[in-house]
């Protein structure tokens, strides 16, 4: 497996950061009521932090469309973010733990510091983890999220004094590593490495286009992450009064996602996950949710739903990592927008949680409706996608050479070698060389986009460039060049 040679143990330090991210509510459970301060100050902190993270995250994503996204990955930027992160938590603990010190002003200041710095550090960590492609990220993120969720469980059940010490150590580790990497210049990518085939995405007014392209690539997993954020913000549930369901879902979800790394298929992995495996999971939950109130299947579906959201969250994080690895979009665009939207939806969930519709015993049925709608969405999207895409892949495959379409693995390797030789002769870029290899084997735009985790429009732009450099006008002519080599 490629992970054995590419995986770096230092990546596991992300676990320390994941276990302290304040916009993920299980990480601050231990602070509620444990410090003996005024709990009325908590809303000031939480709401300010989420609003700040929303605005700063979207701002970073917007700025990244107008300049190189590396502006957020310089040594000074990451160090300032790390210092703000530590100071924000110190101020937060002092606000809740020191009665004479705590006030709405200090809670708001702590929220401002942590909201802004969380965006910066998420971008920095995202840039570092972009070294993993989708398949590698599935196993790496599953391990990290599972370990982080286990730490959250232990911190929520331990004495506050011990918990604070452990939390402080994790916090320092989580911010120190990206600082070291940034100061060494390991975070910043040269301009030529940040692949964006259509440079128009960098001019003024392109933010909407950038969002549309990212949605085209990872819309379904991104929606799942936002639904999870909403449900988590509305209300917290515990299993047997011991463990919060979000934490439980993170642990079990990570275990379920890990085997996906070992799936070997000639087809893109994302469609298999989001058009087959996850919809089947959702279908099971829909069936269980149809049973009467008080029945075992409905009770089973209630906690299994959070396992589903845990699975979807890990898959979404791994997919985002795969998107960053493809370098069609910068880390500032991807993670700035993700943190901003996640924070906004979490805040919306908290606001909904205080309304009569979501208070008391009525919250269960309402959340069940929300979850079931999302399960139905997960099943419906692949069906609509299959209907729209029917025949497209077949039309794009070149029937001129059946062996290219259905040939053996050895033939596929020889085609790739010929394509690499052609690319070198005609001065194709690394991304164009990669795409030419898929074109030479008869694959279409849709297949290539899903395999490389980039948008179809970007693939088409690369294809046009390949045609121009090779002096051809059609796929038939391109295959003729490949076969003639």
How confident is residue 15, by pLDDT bands cut at 50, 70 and 90? very high
Region 411-440: mean pLDDT is 83
pLDDT tens digits along 280-297: 888 888 888 888 877 888
Instruction: Print burial letters for 36-54: b (CB count within 10 Å at least 16), e (below 16).
Output: ebeeebbebbbbbbbbbbb
By the 8 A CB rule, do 338 and 320 touch? Answer: yes
Q: Is the pLDDT confidence value at 415 over 60?
A: yes
Residue 345 neighbours by CB under 8 Å, 6+ apart: 226, 229, 230, 233
Residue 176: what pLDDT? 96
8 A C-beta contact, residue 373 and residue 289: no
> For residues 160 and 401, which has the higher predicted lDDT (pLDDT)?
160
Residue 62 — pLDDT band, cuts 50, 70, 90? very high
Q: What is the pLDDT of residue 3?
A: 55
Percent share of the chain, pLDDT over 90 = 32
How is domain 393-484 classified at the architecture level of CATH? Orthogonal Bundle (1.10)
Question: What are 351-398's pLDDT values in tens digits?
Answer: 888 887 777 665 566 777 777 888 888 788 777 766 665 544 444 444
Mean pLDDT, rounded, for 159-171: 91
- Token representation of residue 130: 């972009």
Q: Provide the pLDDT for residue 393.
A: 47
Which pLDDT band, with edges at 50, 70 and 90, does 328 fall under? confident
Tally Cβ neighbours within 10 Å of residue 373. 11
pLDDT, position 25? 84
Structure token digits, residue 301: 């579906």
Give 414 or 139, the one with higher predicted confidence. Answer: 139
Domain 3-388 bears CATH identifier 3.40.470.10: no
Give 195-223 pLDDT, tens digit per residue.
Answer: 444 444 344 347 888 888 888 788 888 88
Q: Select, from the ranges 27-31, 334-338, 433-437, the one with the highest average predicted confidence (pLDDT).
A: 334-338
The DSSP letter of residue 239 is E
For residue 39, what are the contacts with CB-CB under 8 A and spacing of at least 6?
32, 33, 96
Q: How many helices (H) and strands (E) does the chain have?
A: 21, 2
Residue 54 pLDDT: 97
pLDDT of residue 297: 85
Give percent of the chain with pLDDT exceeding 70: 84
Chain length of the chain: 485
What integer is the mean pLDDT of 250-271?
A: 85
pLDDT band at 88; cut points 50, 70, 90: very high
Q: Name the residue ranges covered by the structural domains of the chain.
A: 3-388, 393-484
Q: How confident is the model at residue 239 (pLDDT cuts 50, 70, 90)?
A: low
Average pLDDT, the chain: 82
Give the C-alpha separation, 20 to 30, whole Å.
11
Q: What is the mean pLDDT of the segment spanning 180-191?
A: 77
Instruction: Report pLDDT for 188.
Output: 67
């Amino acid at each position: 497996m490629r992970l054995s040679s590419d995986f770096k143990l230092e990546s596991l330090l992300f676990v320390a950061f994941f276990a302290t991210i304040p916009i993920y509510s299980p990480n601050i459970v231990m602070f509620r009521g444990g410090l003996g301060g005024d709990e009325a100050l908590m809303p000031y902190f939480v709401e300010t932090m989420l609003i700040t993270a929303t605005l700063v995250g979207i701002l970073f994503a917007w700025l990244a469309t107008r300049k190189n996204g590396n502006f957020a990955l310089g040594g000074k930027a990451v160090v300032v973010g790390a210092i703000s992160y530590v100071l924000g938590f110190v101020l937060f603990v002092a606000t809740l733990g020191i009665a004479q010190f705590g006030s709405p002003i200090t809670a708001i200041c702590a929220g401002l510091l942590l909201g802004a710095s969380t965006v910066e550090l998420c971008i920095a960590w995202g840039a570092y983890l972009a070294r993993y492609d989708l398949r590698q990220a599935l196993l790496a993120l599953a391990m990290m999220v599972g370990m982080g969720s286990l730490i959250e469980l232990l911190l929520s059940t331990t004495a506050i004094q011990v918990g604070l010490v452990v939390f402080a150590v994790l916090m320092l580790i989580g911010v120190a590593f990206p600082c070291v990497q940034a100061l060494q210049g390991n975070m910043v990518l040269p301009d030529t490495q940040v692949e964006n085939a259509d440079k128009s995405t960098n001019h003024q007014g392109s933010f909407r286009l950038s969002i549309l392209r990212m949605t085209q690539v990872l819309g379904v997993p991104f929606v799942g992450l936002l639904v999870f954020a909403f449900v988590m913000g509305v209300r917290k549930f515990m299993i047997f009064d011991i463990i919060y369901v979000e934490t439980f879902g993170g642990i079990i979800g990570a275990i379920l996602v890990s085997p996906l790394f070992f799936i070997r298929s000639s087809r893109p992995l994302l469609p298999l996950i989001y058009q087959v495996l996850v919809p089947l999971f959702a279908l099971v939950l829909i069936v269980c949710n149809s049973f009467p109130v008080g029945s075992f299947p409905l009770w089973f579906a209630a906690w299994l739903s959070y396992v589903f959201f845990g699975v979807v969250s890990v898959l979404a994080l791994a997919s985002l990592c795969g998107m960053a690895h493809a370098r069609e979009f910068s880390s500032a665009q991807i993670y700035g927008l993700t943190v901003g939207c996640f924070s906004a939806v979490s805040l919306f969930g908290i606001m909904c949680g205080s309304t009569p519709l979501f208070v008391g015993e009525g919250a269960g049925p309402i959340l069940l409706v929300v979850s079931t709608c999302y399960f139905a969405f997960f099943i419906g999207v692949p069906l609509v996608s299959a209907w729209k895409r029917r025949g497209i892949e077949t039309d794009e495959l070149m029937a001129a050479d059946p062996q290219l379409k259905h040939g053996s693995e050895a033939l596929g390797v020889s085609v790739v070698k010929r394509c690499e030789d052609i690319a070198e002769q005609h001065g194709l870029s690394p991304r164009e060389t990669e795409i030419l290899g898929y074109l030479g084997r008869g694959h279409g735009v849709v297949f290539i986009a899903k395999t490389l985790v980039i948008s179809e429009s970007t693939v088409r732009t690369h294809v046009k460039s390949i045609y121009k450099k090779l002096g051809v006008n059609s796929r038939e002519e391109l295959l003729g060049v490949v076969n003639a080599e």
